[in-house]
Structure 1
Amino acid sequence: MNDFDNNDDQPPSKSQLKRDADAQQALGEQLVDLSDGKLAKIPVDEALLDAIRLAQRIRNTREGFRRQLQLIGKMMRDRDTTEIEQALSEIEHSHHEQNALFHQLEKHRDLILAEGDPAIQGFIDAYPDADRQKLRQLYRQALKQQQQNKPPAAARELFKYLRQVASA
């Protein structure tokens, strides 16, 4: 057995180092694209946070922004990024859950507007804290507005109420 068969003793190749650096820079770019609220949920140190905020401010300067992203990528290489990656994954997962809930509530609203009381009962079965009287009232208002060719203010109000009940 010769020494080249065991890859554990050899340093990473130049190509692998380049791929790792590109991955760290892409992770840094994801951080720059986050809103302030989401960025606050990410465990980053003060120096990295300052670099990210600077990149967000100079986004419109092409060359300066590119260099700042490279600096963030370099800073990321010096850190353990597992916690950052995990926090980004959780943010993305919660975003998908919120979208799914939003679409589900849209379906409930459309069903209530189409079927009335049976669909209201179905929503109450799914969310027992819902107020049947309020749902019926909003349903009747939405129908009345629809028949009078008015803007669907009650249908929007119905959706807001459904979202309020589902998030409680």
Structure 2
Amino acid sequence: MARKNQKAPWEEEEEIIWVSKTEMKEDMEVLQKLGEELVGLKPSVLAKFPLPDQLAEAIKDAQRFKNEAKRRQLQFIGKLMRQVEPELIQAALDKHRNKHAQASAELHKLESLRDELIEQGDVAIEKVLELYPSVDRQRLRQLVRQANKEKKLNKPPKAYREIFQTLKELHDKV
């Protein structure tokens, strides 16, 4: 005999996810911190973010406020953040933060390429020619020789710096 409160085998059970009050508060604090980071950005950078009008206006106001008014405005921003998808905003913020890191990494690559040019000479020049076909081979070779000469005679590294500037200009053109 079947029990009255038993579900039929073909009916799916709904899974209920219980969220504690503490978890909800932690989530709200995370959103508020995200809002604080947005308030700290320049208006020109904020214009690139996918923000609803009301949130953008609240952030603009928070940038003007001080002390207690700013604290209350940040709480309001946190409340508005609950209504939007924070993943999109977080992704845009991560992308903004990463630009500096990418630029630094590119400069480090150019520095290592410069060092490779000075150490290896013609072999490295061929590598640079593959990367940047528009480079003046003769000028680059001349700079490498000057840099090696400066290094031997303990002179200021003028050619060393000029090689880097040349590589940077070539990289910016590409």
TM > 0.5 fold call: yes
Distance in 2, matches of 1:144 and 1:49, equals: 57
Partner of residue 163, structure 1 = 168
Q: Which runs of 5+ in 1 are unaligned?
A: none
TM score, norm. by length of structure 2: 0.70
The one-letter amino acid of 1:149's match is K
Partner of residue 149, structure 1 = 155
Distance in 2, matches of 1:30 and 1:39, equals: 11
The 1:135–1:50 alpha-carbon spacing in structure 2 relative to 1, beyond 3 Å, is: farther
Q: Which has the larger radius of gyration?
A: 2
Which has the larger displacement, 104-113 or 71-80? Answer: 71-80
The one-letter amino acid of 2:89's match is I
Deviations 1:49-99 (A, max 9, x none): 3433444455xx555544443332222122222321222233344444333
Q: CA RMSD in A?
A: 3.2
The 1:116–1:26 alpha-carbon spacing in structure 2 relative to 1, beyond 3 Å, is: same
Q: Which runs of 5+ in 2 are unaligned?
A: 7-12
Which of 47, 50, 54 pairs up with 1:47? 54
Partner of residue 109, structure 1 = 114
Deviation at 1:162, TM superposition (A): 1.3
More helix, by proportion? 1
Please say if 1:18 is aligned against 2:3.
no
TM score, norm. by length of structure 1: 0.72
Distance in 2, matches of 1:143 and 1:56, equals: 53
Which has the larger displacement, 77-86 or 90-99? Answer: 90-99
User: What number of residue pairs does the alignment pair up?
Assistant: 162
The 1:149–1:53 alpha-carbon spacing in structure 2 relative to 1, beyond 3 Å, is: farther
